[in-house]
Chains A and B, each alone.
Chain A
Amino acid sequence: MRALNRKLLRDLYAMKGQAFAIALVIASGVAVFVMSITTLNALRQTRADFYKQYFFADVFLSLKRAPEGLRLRIKEIPGVDMVETRVAAAVNLTIKDYSGPVTGQLFSVPDIGKPLLNKLYLRQGRMIEAGRDDEVIVSEAFARSHGFMPGSKLSAVINGRRKNLTIVGIGLSPEHVYQIAPGSLFPDFERYGILWMGRKPLGTAYNMEGAFNNVTLTLSPGAQIEDVIERLDKLIEPYGGLGAYGRKDQLSNRYLYEEFRQLANTATIFPIIFLGVAAFLLNLVVSRLINMQRGQIAALKAFGYNNYAVGLHYLKLIILIILLGVAGGVLSGVWFGRGLSEMYMDYYRFPFLRYEFQPGVAAIAALISIAAGITGALYSVQRGVRIPPAEAMRPEPPATYRETWIEHIGLKRIMSQPSRMIIRHIERKPVKAFLSTIGIAFACAIMIVGCFFQEAIDFMVDVHFRLSQREDLAVTFVEPASKRALFELQSLPGVEYGEAFRSVPVRLRYQHRTYRTAIMGVKPGGDLQRLLNSRLKPFDPPREGILLTDYLGDILGVRVGDKLSVEVLEGNRPVRMVSVAGMVSQCIGVSAYMNIEALNNLMREGNAISGVYLAADPDYHPEILSRLNEMPRIAGIVERRNAVKNFYETISEQLIVYTSFMAMFAATIAFGVVYNSARIALSERSRELASMRVLGLTRGEISYILLGELAVLTLAAIPLGCLIGYILCAYFVDQLQTDLYRIPLIIESGTYALAATVVLVSATISGSIVRRRLDRLDLIAVLKTRE
């Protein structure tokens, strides 16, 4: 082996602790990158494959009733490829030994053969036997949460009559990957299920023989979806069509899309920040390392090694360390990525997972790391080789220290000589000190980003459920009802108070932007549902005009005073212009609000209500729920306790798991950075410190000089890190806004404290390692050789 390569390996071995810490920092950045990107790609690939292989429809439409013959007319619409008609119905379900209210959505499947579109993936069991009216297939999430197997039984109230059903299969459909009940905010696999039944028996039960009330279709290549929807709506209008919509507005797909978008944001922003921080640190460490080898660079040059050879030598060293880190990062990234993808699988219902190692992703991570390391190295190597060797080789001239301004202003008297040495050293190399501080501050900042989500989510849930949606139970009717329904529910045992609401499905349009949502008619002076202003203070809806969730206002690009077009999607579907009266601060869900009377007026109807919010004694909940379950006209019941629990178990959990991975890697980076700063300081100054020992300073005194500097830099880094952390969090919060929820920018002091603690603990551990090394400082060896 060439002597130069041997020097490389020896140098690497001599700095193994430091090399390991650098590799750790890179590994963390790379791991986060690989984990996030591969998971995202896997989910996207899985979704694409599932949609394609199981013929996810392009356009969806519900209607009252149309004869089957209309199918051919639909098929003739230009741009339509395949059409499937179905019968769909909402059902109330009863499950033995389960007390809560369970609702479901029934879809028909052809009596013979398989569905044309939105095909079922059968996880277990079989399709329905032709003609059987007591067999159903249930969705996997629902089946799992109740422990259903093929052969399990449940009963359903189908068109007013109770019917016992046998589960023959457990399936998954591209239409219900994200399985969420209409009107609820979060998935609840226990209380909402999708069921499939034979077309004939279901048609018979709902008087849909030779007719349908639901249609899905795919488009032929190149077709314009807007045109198709327009023609379809016109065709179906006489049959009570509820407005066709594309995948964009299909509930499961839309939530999936939103969540993937959010995931894509986290999965790119986090790794970029992490890799960026890792790269910055690498750059810092490498340039200081090479700076320390100035003399050796000069000697090599003096022997006739050219700049290229010298540069290559140091680049090899850096690349070796980086590759070590990249290898560790890729391995752990793939490992965590697989785990994370499997967790997501549990949450989104895909029949299969397409997770695979993507060499391209690993290569990008490696390239970014190497590029960062090399730029750091190149700059320093260049600086190293530019100095004439004669100059670089002389022992460094005694540094020019000056009295610092801190001493000038008279603090001199209260400072010991070693303390003065600390501040003089910092002041003499302010850039270096600043960069070290920035490095530690960034480590602190990414800790904050990794940790703040938990508390911000708690805050968000608290605001939403304690200040705004304060009901214990929300009951929605199948059809608008009269005020009487409110009194009926209020009289249930244990109910303390009730408040009616009206909810009207609409499409809001402003200029070219549209949004499908519901207008909630709210009672002024209500106690259960309250609208919050930007300072989270409750206020009453004005007599006229519409209020929008602030986020919806941004989506539509409207301001207070603008006029919106409201296209009602039920009844005889009027279109009206309404002016925007204000914005509502709301971090979960997206809605529009009106005074309930104004909404009734807009609908040209009397005192119609869509549902009731109830405050009820928790002890009575089971009884109330079972009474509600008996009532025929109830479409859905949401229990707040349950909603909160669901939120934490589903949406928040996946974010928290992801961010706690982040926090773990952030802590690793924090340690790597602090440790490296300490070690570099040690090697840069060991000669000087050894000389001081020789002059009679004690171990304690030289430790104080070195570690005191580290302490000063670390302490300065913490507030700076908190500031950077806050900025990063603000950026994240902005990027992670979705229709589902918006995390508020709330960073609790506990988060800052945790980040500071991790940095301080890292500093303490690094300090004690350095202290041990200082105690073992070989005075003779240090003085005998240069460097």
Chain B
Amino acid sequence: MSEDKKRASNQALQGNEAVFCVKGLTKVYDMGEVKVHALRGIDLDLFQGELVVLLGASGSGKSTLLNILGGLDTATEGCVVYKDCDLTRANDSTLTQYRRYHIGFVFQFYNLIPSLTARENVAIVTEIARNPMKPEEALSLVGLDDRMDHFPAQLSGGEQQRVAIARAIAKNPEVLLCDEPTGSLDSMTGIVVLEALEKINRDLGTTTIVITHNAPIADMADRVICLADGLIADVRSNAHKKPACEIKW
């Protein structure tokens, strides 16, 4: 790839408005005797329609960053601005509105409601969204047509993970935050899931952030951000995004 092209694509992106604007973000977990510095001052802009992959060693602060971006956790210092809204200063009900109408989440530990079936686990989100898909549609995007009425306990780990993804994409959010969406999946199923994410990102222009431990997945991203020890160690842009179907691991 030539330097020109790379610059061009970056400029194209920069031309887009920044969806997230992160400045000096730190997160300290106070555990009494010890303080755990999960994030030590992150500066970062994320742009509209961008697909970003977050890489980094275990414990480097990826989930923490994602949670703060998603309004699930509060920062210790620094600020995070989503469009015009300063998340670090927002009150609880603003954050609730923010999560409800803008964010789709895939949790690292799925967090399905055990007493609801797969379909109902998706419905519980679509019922309060503004412009959702049908739960069935979302579930079939992740290849679960024949598991809709199963309870979480009756699903395999990977299937649960796919329900969690269906739940996140079903509301057609403006931002999709996925914490290891393919962690428990074989590469075949993983690719199905990645294709779904790619499709949403492409068709709806959803800003998508994906945490993963599988470095090859980074090839499908517009940008790859590496975290190490609570700091951004490296940011690189892919001039050529690889389609999900060509990724192997």
Contacts and interface: CB of A to CB of B under 8 A. Distances in A.
Interface of A: 2-4, 6-7, 10-11, 14, 295-296, 298-307, 388-391, 393-395, 778, 781, 784-787
B105 A303 contact: yes
B107 A3 contact: no
Given A10-B116, A11-B115, A304 B107 contact: no
B108 to A, nearest CB: 9
Interface string B87-101: 000001100111111
Contacts of A391: 73
Contacts of B167: 303
A535 B167 CA distance: 78
Contacts of B127: 2-4
A301 B96 contact: yes
Interface of B: 63-64, 67-68, 70, 72-74, 92-93, 96-101, 103, 105, 107, 109-116, 120-121, 123-125, 127-129, 152-153, 157, 160, 167
B142 to A, nearest CB: 17
Please classify the interface of chain B as helix (H, G, I), strand (E, B), loop, or mixed, using the class held by over half of its residues.
Answer: helix
Contact of B128 (A6, A11, A302, A304): A304
A299 B67 CA distance: 12
Contact of B99 (A3, A295, A304): A304
A393 B115 contact: no
Contact of A7 (B64, B113, B152): B113
Please classify the interface of chain A as helix (H, G, I), strand (E, B), loop, or mixed, using the class held by over half of its residues.
Answer: helix
Q: Which of B109, B110, B157, B167 has the most CB of A within 10 A?
A: B109
Contact of A6 (B92, B116, B152): B116
Contacts of B103: 304
B111 A786 contact: yes
A394 B157 CA distance: 17
A10 B96 contact: no
A14 B153 CA distance: 14
A301 to B, nearest CB: 7
Given A10-B115, A306-B96, A388-B72, 9 more contacts: A7-B120, A300-B124, A302-B70, A304-B98, A389-B72, A393-B111, A784-B153, A784-B160, A786-B110
Contact of B109 (A296, A303, A778, A786): A786
Contacts of B114: 296, 785-787
A786 B96 CA distance: 23
A687 to B, nearest CB: 12
B176 to A, nearest CB: 13
B73 A3 contact: no
Nearest to B74: A388
B101 A390 contact: no
29 contacts: A3-B127, A4-B124, A4-B127, A6-B116, A10-B116, A14-B115, A296-B111, A301-B96, A302-B107, A303-B105, A303-B167, A304-B98, A304-B99, A304-B101, A304-B128, A304-B129, A307-B92, A388-B67, A389-B72, A390-B63, A390-B70, A391-B73, A393-B111, A395-B109, A778-B153, A781-B153, A784-B152, A786-B110, A786-B114
A303 B115 contact: no
A784 B184 CA distance: 12
A11 B114 CA distance: 9
Given A4-B124, A781-B153, A303 B92 contact: no
Contacts of B92: 307
A303 B157 CA distance: 21
A388 B100 contact: no
Contacts of A781: 153
Contacts of A393: 72, 107, 109, 111
Contacts of A389: 72-73
Contact of A307 (B96, B101, B105, B123): B96
A582 B160 CA distance: 84
Contact of A388 (B63, B73, B96): B73
Contacts of A394: 109
Nearest to B110: A786
B117 to A, nearest CB: 9
Contacts of B72: 302, 388-390, 393
Nearest to A397: B31
Q: Which of A3, A4, A305, A781 has the most CB of B within 10 A?
A: A3
A785 B112 contact: yes
A383 to B, nearest CB: 14
Contacts of A395: 109
The 8 nearest A-B residue pairs measured at CB: A304-B100, A390-B73, A390-B67, A10-B115, A390-B72, A3-B124, A3-B123, A304-B99
Q: Which of A299, A306, A778 has the most CB of B within 10 A?
A: A299
B183 to A, nearest CB: 14
A305 B128 contact: yes
A393 B152 CA distance: 16
Nearest to B154: A781
B128 A784 contact: no
B111 A305 contact: no
A299 to B, nearest CB: 4
Nearest to B29: A391
Given A295-B111, A303-B105, A785-B152, A3 B116 contact: yes
Given A3-B124, A7-B116, A11-B115, A303 B73 contact: no
A306 B93 contact: yes
Contacts of A302: 70, 72, 99, 105, 107, 111
B128 A303 contact: yes
A682 to B, nearest CB: 16
A738 to B, nearest CB: 55
A72 B113 CA distance: 87
A397 to B, nearest CB: 9
A296 B113 contact: yes
Contacts of A295: 111
A785 B153 contact: yes
Contacts of A296: 111, 113-114
B102 to A, nearest CB: 9
A597 to B, nearest CB: 83
Nearest to A6: B120
A303 B105 CA distance: 8
A126 B67 CA distance: 90
A645 B67 CA distance: 78
B70 A299 contact: no
Contacts of A305: 96, 100, 128
B115 A7 contact: yes
Contact of B124 (A7, A10, A298, A778): A7
